[in-house]
Structure 1
Amino acid sequence: MAGRTSQPGQSVTGRVLMILELFERSLAARSLSEISTETGLPLSTTHRLVGELESWGALQRDANGRYQIGLRLWELGQHAGRQVREIARPLLQDLFTLTQETVHIAVRERAEALYIDRVYGTRRVPQASRVGGRLPLHATAVGKVLLAFEEPWVREAIISRPLESRTPLTHVDPDALRAELAVVRTRSFATTVDETRIGATSIAVPVFQNGLVGAALGLVTTTDAATSIERHLPALRGIARRIEASVGHFPLQSLRQPASTGRKGSDPEAETRR
Protein backbone atom coordinates (compact mmCIF):
# COMPACT_ATOMS: atom_id res chain seq x y z
CA MET A 1 0.00 0.00 0.00
CA ALA A 2 1.40 3.39 -0.99
CA GLY A 3 2.03 5.93 1.71
CA ARG A 4 -0.07 9.07 2.03
CA THR A 5 0.60 11.55 -0.73
CA SER A 6 -1.05 14.77 -1.84
CA GLN A 7 -0.98 13.62 -5.45
CA PRO A 8 -3.20 10.61 -6.16
CA GLY A 9 -1.31 7.54 -7.34
CA GLN A 10 2.08 8.85 -6.31
CA SER A 11 3.80 6.60 -3.79
CA VAL A 12 6.39 7.58 -1.22
CA THR A 13 8.92 5.57 -3.22
CA GLY A 14 8.01 7.54 -6.32
CA ARG A 15 8.64 10.79 -4.49
CA VAL A 16 12.02 9.64 -3.26
CA LEU A 17 12.98 8.65 -6.80
CA MET A 18 11.88 12.06 -8.06
CA ILE A 19 14.33 13.68 -5.65
CA LEU A 20 17.19 11.40 -6.67
CA GLU A 21 16.41 11.89 -10.36
CA LEU A 22 17.15 15.60 -10.02
CA PHE A 23 20.80 14.73 -9.44
CA GLU A 24 20.83 12.42 -12.45
CA ARG A 25 19.87 15.38 -14.65
CA SER A 26 22.42 17.66 -13.00
CA LEU A 27 24.95 17.05 -10.24
CA ALA A 28 24.68 20.66 -9.04
CA ALA A 29 24.07 20.99 -5.30
CA ARG A 30 20.57 22.19 -4.41
CA SER A 31 18.87 23.84 -1.46
CA LEU A 32 15.81 22.31 0.14
CA SER A 33 13.55 24.88 -1.49
CA GLU A 34 15.10 24.22 -4.92
CA ILE A 35 14.47 20.48 -4.53
CA SER A 36 10.88 21.24 -3.56
CA THR A 37 10.38 23.53 -6.56
CA GLU A 38 12.00 21.20 -9.09
CA THR A 39 10.07 18.13 -7.96
CA GLY A 40 6.79 19.92 -7.26
CA LEU A 41 6.67 18.34 -3.82
CA PRO A 42 5.45 20.32 -0.79
CA LEU A 43 8.30 21.82 1.20
CA SER A 44 7.31 19.88 4.33
CA THR A 45 7.34 16.59 2.42
CA THR A 46 10.65 17.47 0.79
CA HIS A 47 12.14 18.29 4.19
CA ARG A 48 11.08 14.91 5.61
CA LEU A 49 12.22 12.81 2.64
CA VAL A 50 15.50 14.65 2.14
CA GLY A 51 16.22 14.26 5.85
CA GLU A 52 15.72 10.52 5.61
CA LEU A 53 17.89 10.32 2.50
CA GLU A 54 20.60 12.28 4.26
CA SER A 55 20.44 10.07 7.35
CA TRP A 56 20.86 6.97 5.18
CA GLY A 57 23.70 8.54 3.18
CA ALA A 58 22.01 8.87 -0.21
CA LEU A 59 22.34 12.66 0.06
CA GLN A 60 24.84 14.80 1.91
CA ARG A 61 25.27 18.53 2.50
CA ASP A 62 28.16 20.60 1.22
CA ALA A 63 29.92 23.42 3.07
CA ASN A 64 27.05 25.79 2.17
CA GLY A 65 24.36 23.45 3.50
CA ARG A 66 23.15 22.50 0.00
CA TYR A 67 22.35 18.90 -0.88
CA GLN A 68 24.29 16.67 -3.26
CA ILE A 69 24.59 12.95 -3.99
CA GLY A 70 25.97 11.06 -1.00
CA LEU A 71 28.90 8.70 -1.01
CA ARG A 72 26.82 5.72 0.14
CA LEU A 73 24.59 5.91 -2.94
CA TRP A 74 27.66 5.96 -5.18
CA GLU A 75 29.13 2.97 -3.32
CA LEU A 76 25.88 1.04 -3.71
CA GLY A 77 25.83 1.71 -7.44
CA GLN A 78 29.30 0.29 -7.86
CA HIS A 79 28.09 -3.19 -6.90
CA ALA A 80 25.55 -3.48 -9.71
CA GLY A 81 27.09 -4.72 -12.94
CA ARG A 82 30.52 -5.03 -11.37
CA GLN A 83 31.12 -8.50 -12.82
CA VAL A 84 30.45 -7.31 -16.35
CA ARG A 85 32.58 -4.19 -16.01
CA GLU A 86 35.46 -6.17 -14.55
CA ILE A 87 35.33 -8.41 -17.61
CA ALA A 88 34.98 -5.57 -20.12
CA ARG A 89 37.60 -3.17 -18.75
CA PRO A 90 40.74 -5.23 -19.53
CA LEU A 91 39.38 -5.85 -23.02
CA LEU A 92 38.79 -2.14 -23.50
CA GLN A 93 42.39 -1.59 -22.42
CA ASP A 94 43.46 -4.18 -25.01
CA LEU A 95 41.58 -2.23 -27.68
CA PHE A 96 43.40 0.94 -26.70
CA THR A 97 46.75 -0.91 -26.88
CA LEU A 98 45.93 -2.10 -30.39
CA THR A 99 44.70 1.25 -31.72
CA GLN A 100 46.31 3.92 -29.51
CA GLU A 101 43.04 5.84 -29.86
CA THR A 102 40.36 6.81 -27.35
CA VAL A 103 37.99 3.86 -27.05
CA HIS A 104 34.70 3.42 -25.19
CA ILE A 105 31.72 1.18 -24.62
CA ALA A 106 28.10 2.35 -24.42
CA VAL A 107 24.58 1.00 -23.93
CA ARG A 108 21.19 2.44 -24.86
CA GLU A 109 19.41 4.38 -22.14
CA ARG A 110 16.05 5.50 -23.52
CA ALA A 111 16.89 7.63 -26.59
CA GLU A 112 20.52 8.20 -25.65
CA ALA A 113 23.85 6.41 -25.68
CA LEU A 114 25.09 6.02 -22.11
CA TYR A 115 28.89 5.86 -21.95
CA ILE A 116 29.95 3.16 -19.49
CA ASP A 117 33.71 3.14 -19.69
CA ARG A 118 36.51 4.76 -21.66
CA VAL A 119 40.25 4.55 -22.15
CA TYR A 120 41.81 7.80 -23.27
CA GLY A 121 44.28 7.98 -26.12
CA THR A 122 47.02 10.57 -26.42
CA ARG A 123 45.61 12.28 -29.51
CA ARG A 124 43.85 15.57 -28.75
CA VAL A 125 40.28 14.92 -29.85
CA PRO A 126 37.32 17.24 -29.19
CA GLN A 127 35.43 15.20 -26.61
CA ALA A 128 31.65 15.46 -26.30
CA SER A 129 31.05 12.69 -23.79
CA ARG A 130 32.33 11.44 -20.44
CA VAL A 131 31.96 8.20 -18.52
CA GLY A 132 28.42 8.21 -17.18
CA GLY A 133 27.43 10.85 -19.74
CA ARG A 134 24.81 10.57 -22.45
CA LEU A 135 24.61 11.65 -26.07
CA PRO A 136 21.81 11.35 -28.65
CA LEU A 137 21.76 7.98 -30.37
CA HIS A 138 21.44 9.48 -33.85
CA ALA A 139 24.56 11.67 -33.49
CA THR A 140 27.15 9.10 -32.36
CA ALA A 141 28.67 6.00 -33.91
CA VAL A 142 27.91 3.86 -30.85
CA GLY A 143 24.39 5.28 -30.80
CA LYS A 144 23.78 4.51 -34.45
CA VAL A 145 24.90 0.93 -33.90
CA LEU A 146 22.58 0.56 -30.92
CA LEU A 147 19.73 2.13 -32.87
CA ALA A 148 20.32 0.12 -36.03
CA PHE A 149 20.11 -3.24 -34.25
CA GLU A 150 17.22 -2.34 -31.94
CA GLU A 151 13.73 -3.69 -32.47
CA PRO A 152 12.06 -1.83 -35.36
CA TRP A 153 9.36 -0.26 -33.19
CA VAL A 154 11.96 1.14 -30.78
CA ARG A 155 14.04 2.47 -33.65
CA GLU A 156 11.04 4.11 -35.29
CA ALA A 157 9.83 5.66 -32.04
CA ILE A 158 13.22 7.33 -31.56
CA ILE A 159 13.66 8.45 -35.17
CA SER A 160 10.17 9.93 -35.22
CA ARG A 161 11.03 12.30 -32.38
CA PRO A 162 12.56 15.74 -33.03
CA LEU A 163 16.28 15.04 -33.55
CA GLU A 164 18.81 17.37 -31.97
CA SER A 165 21.46 18.98 -34.17
CA ARG A 166 24.63 18.80 -32.11
CA THR A 167 26.55 20.43 -34.98
CA PRO A 168 25.55 21.68 -38.45
CA LEU A 169 26.62 18.25 -39.76
CA THR A 170 24.46 16.10 -37.47
CA HIS A 171 22.18 13.80 -39.48
CA VAL A 172 18.65 14.77 -38.45
CA ASP A 173 16.55 14.00 -41.53
CA PRO A 174 14.40 10.97 -40.50
CA ASP A 175 14.26 9.35 -43.94
CA ALA A 176 17.99 9.77 -44.55
CA LEU A 177 18.69 8.39 -41.07
CA ARG A 178 16.50 5.33 -41.72
CA ALA A 179 18.48 4.64 -44.89
CA GLU A 180 21.77 5.14 -43.05
CA LEU A 181 20.80 2.70 -40.30
CA ALA A 182 19.84 0.10 -42.90
CA VAL A 183 23.42 0.34 -44.22
CA VAL A 184 24.74 0.03 -40.65
CA ARG A 185 22.81 -3.23 -40.22
CA THR A 186 24.26 -4.55 -43.46
CA ARG A 187 27.88 -3.57 -42.70
CA SER A 188 27.68 -4.13 -38.91
CA PHE A 189 29.44 -0.89 -38.12
CA ALA A 190 28.67 2.83 -38.03
CA THR A 191 30.73 5.97 -38.47
CA THR A 192 30.24 9.68 -37.81
CA VAL A 193 32.22 12.70 -38.95
CA ASP A 194 31.80 16.02 -37.12
CA GLU A 195 28.27 15.08 -36.01
CA THR A 196 28.73 15.42 -32.27
CA ARG A 197 31.72 17.76 -32.14
CA ILE A 198 33.47 19.47 -35.03
CA GLY A 199 36.90 17.92 -35.36
CA ALA A 200 35.94 14.44 -34.12
CA THR A 201 35.18 11.28 -36.08
CA SER A 202 34.09 7.94 -34.64
CA ILE A 203 33.43 4.33 -35.54
CA ALA A 204 31.58 1.61 -33.62
CA VAL A 205 30.52 -2.03 -33.81
CA PRO A 206 27.78 -3.97 -31.99
CA VAL A 207 28.28 -6.26 -29.01
CA PHE A 208 25.62 -8.95 -29.09
CA GLN A 209 24.18 -11.14 -26.36
CA ASN A 210 21.59 -13.85 -26.93
CA GLY A 211 21.05 -12.57 -30.45
CA LEU A 212 20.27 -9.01 -29.34
CA VAL A 213 22.45 -5.92 -29.29
CA GLY A 214 23.54 -5.33 -25.72
CA ALA A 215 26.21 -2.66 -26.13
CA ALA A 216 28.31 -0.84 -28.70
CA LEU A 217 32.09 -0.66 -28.78
CA GLY A 218 33.53 2.48 -30.31
CA LEU A 219 36.60 4.52 -31.09
CA VAL A 220 36.96 8.28 -31.56
CA THR A 221 39.75 10.16 -33.29
CA THR A 222 40.32 13.41 -35.15
CA THR A 223 38.45 14.26 -38.32
CA ASP A 224 41.64 14.36 -40.37
CA ALA A 225 41.91 10.60 -39.76
CA ALA A 226 38.37 9.89 -40.98
CA THR A 227 39.43 8.40 -44.30
CA SER A 228 41.48 5.69 -42.57
CA ILE A 229 39.29 5.01 -39.54
CA GLU A 230 37.92 1.74 -40.95
CA ARG A 231 41.38 0.19 -40.54
CA HIS A 232 40.45 -0.22 -36.86
CA LEU A 233 37.49 -2.49 -37.66
CA PRO A 234 39.38 -5.80 -37.18
CA ALA A 235 40.47 -4.76 -33.69
CA LEU A 236 37.01 -3.43 -32.78
CA ARG A 237 35.28 -6.57 -33.99
CA GLY A 238 37.80 -8.86 -32.36
CA ILE A 239 37.42 -7.20 -28.96
CA ALA A 240 33.62 -7.13 -29.34
CA ARG A 241 33.61 -10.90 -29.91
CA ARG A 242 35.86 -11.39 -26.88
CA ILE A 243 33.46 -9.38 -24.73
CA GLU A 244 30.54 -11.46 -25.99
CA ALA A 245 32.39 -14.70 -25.21
CA SER A 246 33.64 -13.54 -21.82
CA VAL A 247 30.49 -12.00 -20.38
CA GLY A 248 28.55 -15.26 -20.50
CA HIS A 249 25.22 -15.11 -18.69
CA PHE A 250 25.82 -11.73 -17.06
CA PRO A 251 23.43 -9.23 -18.73
CA LEU A 252 25.22 -6.51 -20.66
CA GLN A 253 22.50 -4.09 -19.64
CA SER A 254 23.87 -4.19 -16.09
CA LEU A 255 26.71 -2.07 -17.47
CA ARG A 256 24.33 0.87 -17.02
CA GLN A 257 25.46 1.33 -13.43
CA PRO A 258 28.16 3.91 -12.56
CA ALA A 259 31.73 3.15 -13.56
CA SER A 260 34.96 4.87 -12.68
CA THR A 261 35.98 7.87 -14.73
CA GLY A 262 39.26 7.10 -16.41
CA ARG A 263 41.61 4.38 -17.54
CA LYS A 264 45.32 4.35 -18.03
CA GLY A 265 46.15 5.48 -21.54
CA SER A 266 46.45 9.18 -20.88
CA ASP A 267 45.51 11.70 -18.23
CA PRO A 268 42.03 10.72 -16.90
CA GLU A 269 41.25 14.42 -16.48
CA ALA A 270 42.13 15.12 -20.10
CA GLU A 271 38.53 15.16 -21.22
CA THR A 272 37.83 18.30 -19.27
CA ARG A 273 40.63 20.04 -21.13
CA ARG A 274 39.87 18.84 -24.66
Structure 2
Amino acid sequence: MSVDKDNLMEEPRSGGIQVIARASAVMRSLAVQPQGLSLAAIAQAVGLPRSTVQRIIGALETEDLVEALPGSGYRLGPGLHQLIHQAHGDIISFVRDSLEQLGESLGETVALSCIRGQQSNVIIRAISEHELRVVIPLGRSLPMHATSDGKVLLSTLSDEEIGRWIAAAPEKLTGRTLDLPGLLAQMPGIRRDGIAVDVEEHAPGVSAISALLPTFMGPHAVTVVAPTARFEARQAEFRQALETFREDFKRARG
Protein backbone atom coordinates (compact mmCIF):
# COMPACT_ATOMS: atom_id res chain seq x y z
CA MET A 1 0.00 0.00 0.00
CA SER A 2 1.42 3.41 -0.96
CA VAL A 3 0.68 6.69 0.77
CA ASP A 4 1.82 10.24 0.14
CA LYS A 5 3.07 10.76 3.69
CA ASP A 6 4.59 14.19 2.96
CA ASN A 7 1.30 15.56 1.66
CA LEU A 8 -0.49 14.04 4.63
CA MET A 9 1.82 15.84 7.05
CA GLU A 10 1.92 19.17 5.17
CA GLU A 11 -1.75 20.03 5.57
CA PRO A 12 -2.59 23.34 7.30
CA ARG A 13 -2.35 23.35 11.06
CA SER A 14 -6.06 22.75 11.58
CA GLY A 15 -5.92 19.93 9.05
CA GLY A 16 -2.92 18.43 10.85
CA ILE A 17 -4.85 18.39 14.10
CA GLN A 18 -7.71 16.67 12.30
CA VAL A 19 -5.33 14.04 10.92
CA ILE A 20 -4.03 13.32 14.43
CA ALA A 21 -7.57 13.04 15.78
CA ARG A 22 -8.56 10.67 12.98
CA ALA A 23 -5.42 8.56 13.40
CA SER A 24 -6.15 8.33 17.13
CA ALA A 25 -9.69 7.18 16.39
CA VAL A 26 -8.38 4.49 14.03
CA MET A 27 -5.89 3.24 16.64
CA ARG A 28 -8.55 3.18 19.36
CA SER A 29 -10.82 1.11 17.13
CA LEU A 30 -8.00 -1.41 16.74
CA ALA A 31 -7.17 -1.34 20.46
CA VAL A 32 -10.55 -2.84 21.36
CA GLN A 33 -10.25 -5.48 18.63
CA PRO A 34 -6.85 -7.13 19.22
CA GLN A 35 -7.66 -9.78 16.60
CA GLY A 36 -7.69 -7.00 13.99
CA LEU A 37 -10.20 -5.33 11.68
CA SER A 38 -10.66 -4.94 7.96
CA LEU A 39 -10.48 -1.50 6.34
CA ALA A 40 -14.24 -1.54 5.92
CA ALA A 41 -14.78 -2.39 9.59
CA ILE A 42 -12.38 0.36 10.71
CA ALA A 43 -14.12 2.88 8.44
CA GLN A 44 -17.48 1.90 9.93
CA ALA A 45 -16.16 2.09 13.50
CA VAL A 46 -14.71 5.59 13.12
CA GLY A 47 -17.29 6.98 10.71
CA LEU A 48 -14.85 7.93 7.96
CA PRO A 49 -14.70 7.11 4.24
CA ARG A 50 -12.73 3.97 3.41
CA SER A 51 -10.33 6.01 1.25
CA THR A 52 -9.51 8.30 4.20
CA VAL A 53 -8.97 5.33 6.51
CA GLN A 54 -6.70 3.73 3.90
CA ARG A 55 -4.46 6.84 3.84
CA ILE A 56 -4.29 6.97 7.64
CA ILE A 57 -3.56 3.25 7.91
CA GLY A 58 -0.77 3.65 5.33
CA ALA A 59 0.92 6.41 7.36
CA LEU A 60 0.57 4.46 10.60
CA GLU A 61 1.90 1.32 8.94
CA THR A 62 4.99 3.22 7.77
CA GLU A 63 5.75 4.03 11.43
CA ASP A 64 5.03 0.44 12.58
CA LEU A 65 2.11 1.70 14.65
CA VAL A 66 -0.19 -0.56 12.65
CA GLU A 67 0.60 -3.81 10.86
CA ALA A 68 -1.16 -5.78 8.15
CA LEU A 69 -2.53 -9.20 9.01
CA PRO A 70 -1.97 -12.21 6.76
CA GLY A 71 -4.71 -12.23 4.17
CA SER A 72 -6.51 -9.02 5.05
CA GLY A 73 -7.06 -6.65 7.91
CA TYR A 74 -4.92 -4.66 10.33
CA ARG A 75 -4.00 -4.61 14.00
CA LEU A 76 -1.87 -2.42 16.25
CA GLY A 77 1.79 -2.77 15.34
CA PRO A 78 5.08 -3.47 17.10
CA GLY A 79 6.07 0.20 17.12
CA LEU A 80 3.20 1.02 19.46
CA HIS A 81 3.94 -1.98 21.67
CA GLN A 82 7.56 -0.80 21.93
CA LEU A 83 6.46 2.67 23.03
CA ILE A 84 4.15 1.15 25.64
CA HIS A 85 6.92 -1.17 26.86
CA GLN A 86 9.34 1.76 27.24
CA ALA A 87 6.80 3.84 29.12
CA HIS A 88 5.88 0.92 31.36
CA GLY A 89 9.59 0.42 31.95
CA ASP A 90 9.68 3.85 33.57
CA ILE A 91 6.74 2.97 35.81
CA ILE A 92 8.26 -0.41 36.67
CA SER A 93 11.61 1.12 37.60
CA PHE A 94 9.82 3.66 39.80
CA VAL A 95 7.52 1.16 41.53
CA ARG A 96 9.70 -1.96 41.77
CA ASP A 97 11.44 -1.23 45.10
CA SER A 98 8.24 -0.02 46.77
CA LEU A 99 6.32 -3.06 45.53
CA GLU A 100 8.98 -5.44 46.82
CA GLN A 101 8.94 -3.67 50.20
CA LEU A 102 5.14 -4.00 50.30
CA GLY A 103 5.41 -7.72 49.61
CA GLU A 104 8.09 -8.20 52.24
CA SER A 105 6.16 -6.27 54.89
CA LEU A 106 2.98 -8.28 54.31
CA GLY A 107 4.62 -11.60 53.49
CA GLU A 108 2.26 -12.09 50.54
CA THR A 109 2.42 -11.96 46.76
CA VAL A 110 1.92 -8.47 45.31
CA ALA A 111 1.62 -7.29 41.73
CA LEU A 112 1.21 -4.26 39.48
CA SER A 113 -1.12 -4.57 36.50
CA CYS A 114 -2.70 -2.48 33.77
CA ILE A 115 -5.32 -2.80 31.04
CA ARG A 116 -4.10 -4.61 27.94
CA GLY A 117 -6.73 -5.09 25.27
CA GLN A 118 -9.80 -5.93 27.33
CA GLN A 119 -8.03 -7.82 30.11
CA SER A 120 -5.81 -6.96 33.05
CA ASN A 121 -2.13 -7.72 32.47
CA VAL A 122 0.47 -8.31 35.19
CA ILE A 123 3.61 -6.25 34.42
CA ILE A 124 5.57 -6.63 37.68
CA ARG A 125 5.24 -8.88 40.73
CA ALA A 126 6.92 -9.93 43.97
CA ILE A 127 6.24 -13.50 45.08
CA SER A 128 5.55 -14.46 48.69
CA GLU A 129 8.06 -16.58 50.61
CA HIS A 130 5.26 -18.60 52.26
CA GLU A 131 5.27 -22.33 51.61
CA LEU A 132 1.56 -21.97 50.76
CA ARG A 133 1.46 -18.99 48.40
CA VAL A 134 -0.10 -17.67 45.21
CA VAL A 135 2.18 -17.27 42.18
CA ILE A 136 0.95 -14.89 39.46
CA PRO A 137 2.59 -15.54 36.08
CA LEU A 138 4.32 -12.41 34.80
CA GLY A 139 2.68 -11.03 31.69
CA ARG A 140 -0.43 -13.13 32.21
CA SER A 141 -3.72 -11.61 31.06
CA LEU A 142 -6.61 -12.12 33.46
CA PRO A 143 -10.39 -11.68 33.02
CA MET A 144 -11.37 -8.27 34.31
CA HIS A 145 -14.80 -9.20 35.67
CA ALA A 146 -13.44 -11.86 38.05
CA THR A 147 -10.30 -10.28 39.54
CA SER A 148 -9.78 -7.44 41.99
CA ASP A 149 -7.31 -5.62 39.73
CA GLY A 150 -9.65 -6.06 36.77
CA LYS A 151 -12.59 -4.63 38.71
CA VAL A 152 -10.69 -1.62 39.99
CA LEU A 153 -9.42 -0.91 36.46
CA LEU A 154 -12.94 -1.31 35.05
CA SER A 155 -14.13 1.29 37.56
CA THR A 156 -12.38 3.96 35.47
CA LEU A 157 -14.92 3.26 32.69
CA SER A 158 -18.59 4.20 32.61
CA ASP A 159 -21.21 1.53 33.24
CA GLU A 160 -22.10 1.68 29.55
CA GLU A 161 -18.47 1.05 28.55
CA ILE A 162 -18.20 -1.82 31.03
CA GLY A 163 -21.33 -3.34 29.50
CA ARG A 164 -19.73 -3.19 26.07
CA TRP A 165 -16.47 -4.71 27.31
CA ILE A 166 -18.00 -7.47 29.42
CA ALA A 167 -20.42 -9.91 27.82
CA ALA A 168 -23.97 -10.02 29.16
CA ALA A 169 -23.10 -13.48 30.53
CA PRO A 170 -19.37 -13.33 31.41
CA GLU A 171 -17.52 -16.59 31.96
CA LYS A 172 -18.29 -18.07 35.38
CA LEU A 173 -14.92 -19.24 36.70
CA THR A 174 -16.09 -20.21 40.20
CA GLY A 175 -19.35 -20.30 42.12
CA ARG A 176 -18.60 -16.75 43.28
CA THR A 177 -17.87 -15.14 39.91
CA LEU A 178 -20.11 -12.10 39.41
CA ASP A 179 -22.50 -11.69 36.52
CA LEU A 180 -22.75 -8.31 34.79
CA PRO A 181 -25.49 -6.87 37.09
CA GLY A 182 -23.51 -7.97 40.15
CA LEU A 183 -20.34 -6.41 38.78
CA LEU A 184 -22.07 -3.10 38.02
CA ALA A 185 -23.61 -3.09 41.50
CA GLN A 186 -20.09 -3.02 42.99
CA MET A 187 -18.88 -0.13 40.82
CA PRO A 188 -20.13 2.84 42.92
CA GLY A 189 -18.24 1.61 45.98
CA ILE A 190 -15.11 0.78 43.98
CA ARG A 191 -15.13 4.22 42.32
CA ARG A 192 -15.60 5.90 45.69
CA ASP A 193 -12.78 4.09 47.47
CA GLY A 194 -10.49 3.09 44.61
CA ILE A 195 -10.42 -0.41 46.15
CA ALA A 196 -11.79 -3.72 44.83
CA VAL A 197 -11.89 -7.19 46.38
CA ASP A 198 -12.02 -10.66 44.84
CA VAL A 199 -12.92 -13.47 47.24
CA GLU A 200 -12.56 -16.68 45.21
CA GLU A 201 -14.22 -15.08 42.16
CA HIS A 202 -11.34 -16.06 39.87
CA ALA A 203 -10.01 -19.25 41.44
CA PRO A 204 -11.11 -21.42 44.41
CA GLY A 205 -9.00 -20.84 47.51
CA VAL A 206 -7.46 -17.60 46.18
CA SER A 207 -8.50 -14.07 47.16
CA ALA A 208 -7.12 -10.62 46.42
CA ILE A 209 -7.53 -6.91 47.05
CA SER A 210 -6.44 -4.12 44.69
CA ALA A 211 -6.04 -0.35 44.80
CA LEU A 212 -6.31 1.95 41.81
CA LEU A 213 -3.01 3.64 41.01
CA PRO A 214 -3.31 6.61 38.63
CA THR A 215 -0.20 7.09 36.48
CA PHE A 216 0.85 9.14 33.45
CA MET A 217 0.37 5.92 31.44
CA GLY A 218 -3.23 5.59 32.55
CA PRO A 219 -4.76 3.58 35.38
CA HIS A 220 -2.80 0.77 37.00
CA ALA A 221 -3.67 -1.48 39.91
CA VAL A 222 -1.52 -2.68 42.80
CA THR A 223 -2.72 -5.98 44.27
CA VAL A 224 -2.18 -8.20 47.28
CA VAL A 225 -3.14 -11.83 46.61
CA ALA A 226 -3.18 -14.67 49.14
CA PRO A 227 -4.79 -17.99 49.99
CA THR A 228 -8.33 -17.26 51.18
CA ALA A 229 -7.73 -18.52 54.72
CA ARG A 230 -5.00 -15.92 55.33
CA PHE A 231 -6.77 -13.27 53.28
CA GLU A 232 -9.96 -13.29 55.30
CA ALA A 233 -8.03 -12.87 58.55
CA ARG A 234 -5.91 -9.98 57.19
CA GLN A 235 -8.10 -8.17 54.65
CA ALA A 236 -8.31 -4.95 56.69
CA GLU A 237 -4.52 -4.96 57.11
CA PHE A 238 -4.02 -5.48 53.36
CA ARG A 239 -6.40 -2.63 52.57
CA GLN A 240 -4.58 -0.22 54.87
CA ALA A 241 -1.23 -1.19 53.36
CA LEU A 242 -2.54 -0.57 49.84
CA GLU A 243 -3.99 2.81 50.77
CA THR A 244 -0.66 3.82 52.29
CA PHE A 245 1.19 2.55 49.20
CA ARG A 246 -1.07 4.64 46.96
CA GLU A 247 -0.61 7.83 49.00
CA ASP A 248 3.17 7.33 49.09
CA PHE A 249 3.16 6.83 45.30
CA LYS A 250 1.18 10.03 44.74
CA ARG A 251 3.55 12.05 46.92
CA ALA A 252 6.63 10.60 45.26
CA ARG A 253 5.29 11.34 41.78
CA GLY A 254 4.37 14.87 42.79
1:125 matched residue in structure 2: 133
Amino acid at match of 2:219: G
SS of the aligned residue for 2:211 comes to strand
Deviation at 1:154?
Answer: 2.6
1:82 aligns with: 89
Partner of 1:206: 212
Task: Identify if the C-alpha distance between structure 1 residues 157 and 90 changes in structure 2 by more than 3 Å, giving closer, same or farther.
Answer: same
Match of 2:21 in 1: none
| CA RMSD in angstroms, aligned pairs only | 3.7
Q: Map of 1:38-49 to 2, 5 A cutoff?
A: 39-40=70-71
User: Match of 2:108, as an amino acid?
Assistant: E
Q: 2: distance between equivalents of 1:214 and 1:90? A: 19
Question: Take 2:248 and 2:110, find their aligned partners in 1: how far apart are those partners?
Answer: 15
The one-letter amino acid of 1:236's match is L
1:96/1:103 contact within 8 Å kept:
yes
More helix by share: 2
User: Whole-Å Cα distance in 2 between the matches of residues 120 and 179 of structure 1?
Assistant: 32
- Structure 1 SS opposite 2:208: strand
| Greater relative CO (CA pairs within 8 A, separation 6+) | 1
Paired-residue identity, %? 22
Of 186-195 and 216-225, the range deviating more from structure 2: 186-195
Shift, 1:18, TM fit: 4.9
- The residue correspondences of 1:228-247 to structure 2 (distance < 5 A) are 228=233, 229-247=235-253
Q: What is the number of equivalent residue pairs in this alignment?
A: 199
- For residues 114-152 of structure 1, the C-alpha deviation after alignment (integer angstroms, 9 at most, x for no partner) is 11110000233354x422221111111111111123344
> 2:123·2:138 contact (CA, 8 Å) conserved in 1?
yes
| Alpha-carbon shift at residue 161 of structure 1 (Å) | 4.8
**Aligned-pair CA distance for 1:213:** 6.6
Q: What is the distance in 2 between the residues matched to 1:122 and 1:191?
A: 22
Q: Following superposition of structure 1 onto structure 2, how do residues 152-171 of structure 1 map, counting pairs within 5 Å?
A: 152-171=159-178
Give the match's secondary structure for 1:80. Answer: helix
- Structure 2 residues without counterparts, runs of 5 or longer: 4-38, 40-49, 73-77
Secondary structure of 1:81's aligned partner? helix
Query: For the structure 1 residues 191 and 12, does the alpha-carbon distance in structure 2 shift closer, same or farther, using more than 3 Å as the test?
Result: same
Counterpart pick for 2:110 among 103, 107, 122: 103
How far is 1:13 from its partner?
6.3
Q: TM-score w.r.t. structure 1 length? A: 0.60
TM-score, length basis structure 2: 0.64
Q: Which 5+ residue runs of structure 1 have no aligned equivalent?
A: 20-37, 42-57, 59-73, 249-274
Tell me the residue number matched to 1:193.
199
2:99 paired residue among 85, 92, 95 = 92
